[in-house]
Amino acid sequence: MQFDQLKRREFITLLGGAAGAWPFAARAQRFSNLKTIGFLGEGTPSSHGPLFAAFVQRLRELGWVEGHTVAIELRWGEGRNERFAEFAAEFVRLKVDIIVASGTANVLAAKQATAVIPIVVAAAGNPIGSGLVASLAQPGGNVTGLSTQAADLAGKRLEFLREVIPGPGRLAIMGNVANPSVVLEMGELKAAARALSLEIAALEIQKTQDIVPAFEALKGRADALYVVVDALVAANWIRINTLALGARLPTMSGGQGYVEMGGLISYGPNGPALFRRAADYVDKILRGAKPGDLPIEQPTKFDLVMNLVTARALGLTIPESLLARADEVIE
């Protein structure tokens, strides 16, 4: 479950070099009657490569070795909804045995493409509120997997941010409003912020081209920035962090990768752990279980991650009491 010994850069280099070859190799392997997994990554090899690597490693532990006992069709959506739909339709044409997807928009695309092929959700913010399933305990249909409880954690993230910046009067919230899970989280955050009498500036984005204009419109209107993580944001982590640092805005998000690429603080479930657990679901389904009979799980452990390099660049001092509670500190 721990990947500290393998550097993130090594993962990215490995995945970047292999990603182009894997789909072709997987197609050839189908002639050997291997079970085939269609893995629809919502981001890029850079943003989500380590998560895919965690998934593949767990599969190996369960006896599913790529190229020997299972084939993997890997596609990267790069945060673009049109690619999600395109690749999901391609998986249906290829007649894969199971689809693995993360991110609400990504999973919705897969669900719209097929009601027959099992779909394992590696991570989704609010499966019920987003219409993915009717019940966590009895999802029914062809979708099961893991929820990240994204909206439920909005208030807690805001508490951590206020420990670093006591009493910020103005909070900016950036999120992809084309993603229903993001809209739910933004709603929860706005309610929590209003309860604290914070002035709110909502930055609504739907594509990469919206990010720079959103920051330009924000000038002088916020003391901190809460970034709602989804595939679009993950594909633009570096751009968003660079703009936030230039605007002297401390940031909070729900993705550890966001902090590893220059964000200030994140609080959320452990990404590699979620993707390893997704491999367990795949194992059960490939061995005969029905996805509708497998309850959707919610995480029980959440990681608080802070970037002291970014804190110093912003001239901030993170309280020792908060550092003592951190699961990881990037120095």
At the topology level, CATH places domain 151-268+303-330 in Rossmann fold (3.40.50)
Asked whether residue 7 carries a pLDDT value surpassing 60, the answer given is no
Quote the pLDDT of residue 138.
92
β-strand pairing of 35-41 with 98-102: parallel
pLDDT digits (tens, 9 = 90+) for 129-182: 888 898 999 999 999 999 987 667 888 898 899 899 876 689 999 999 998 889
As a whole number of angstroms, the distance between CA 247 and CA 222 comes to 10
Averaged pLDDT, 108-125: 94
Computed over every residue of the chain, the mean pLDDT equals 88
| Percent of the chain residues topping a pLDDT of 70 | 89
Across 124-128, 214-218, 284-288, least confident range: 124-128
Question: Burial letters for 78-113: b for 16+ Cβ neighbours within 10 Å, e otherwise?
Answer: bbbbebbbebbebbbebebbbbbbbbbbbbbbbbeb
Handedness of CA 230, 234, 240, 244 (dihedral sign): positive
What percent of the chain has a predicted confidence (pLDDT) above 90? Answer: 63
Contact present, 144 and 294 (Cβ < 8 Å): yes
The predicted model gives 271-285 an average pLDDT of: 96
pLDDT of 14 reads 45
What is the pLDDT, as a whole number, of residue 273?
Answer: 93
pLDDT in the model for residue 122: 95
Domains 8-148+270-301 and 151-268+303-330 share a fold: yes
Q: How far apart are CA 102 and CA 119, in angstroms?
A: 10
267 vs 25, residue with greater confidence: 267
Q: How is domain 8-148+270-301 classified at the CATH fold level? A: Rossmann fold (3.40.50)
pLDDT tens, residue by residue, 241-264 = 999 999 999 999 988 888 999 999
pLDDT band at 32 (very low <50, low <70, confident <90, very high): low
Q: What is the pLDDT of residue 197?
A: 85
CB-based burial of residue 331 (10 Å sphere; 0-12 exposed, 13-18 middle, 19+ buried)? exposed
- Comparing C-alpha atoms, which of 282, 272, 306 is closest to residue 50? 272
Mapping DSSP to helix (H, G, I), strand (E, B) and coil, where does residue 43 land? coil
pLDDT for the residue 166: 74
Answer yes or no: are the C-beta atoms of 211 and 21 closer than 8 Å: no
Q: Which two tokens stand for residue 331?
A: 């120095």
Whether the per-residue pLDDT at 22 is higher than 50: the answer is no
Q: How is the chain split into domains, by residue range?
A: 8-148+270-301, 151-268+303-330
- pTM of the full predicted structure? 0.83
Note whether 91 and 73 are within 8 A (CB): yes
DSSP-derived secondary structure for 289-325:
--GGGSPPB--S-EEEEEEHHHHHHTT----HHHHTT
pLDDT tens string 200-228: 999 999 999 999 999 999 988 899 999 99
Sort 257 into a burial class: Cβ within 10 Å, 0-12 / 13-18 / 19+: buried
- Contact partners, residue 76, CB within 8 Å, separation at least 6: 19, 41, 43, 44, 45, 48
pLDDT of residue 151: 67
pLDDT for the residue 256: 87
Let me know: does 281 contact 130? Beta carbons within 8 Å. Answer: no
Among residues 115, 100, 107, 99, which one has the least CA distance to residue 81?
107
pLDDT at 11: 44
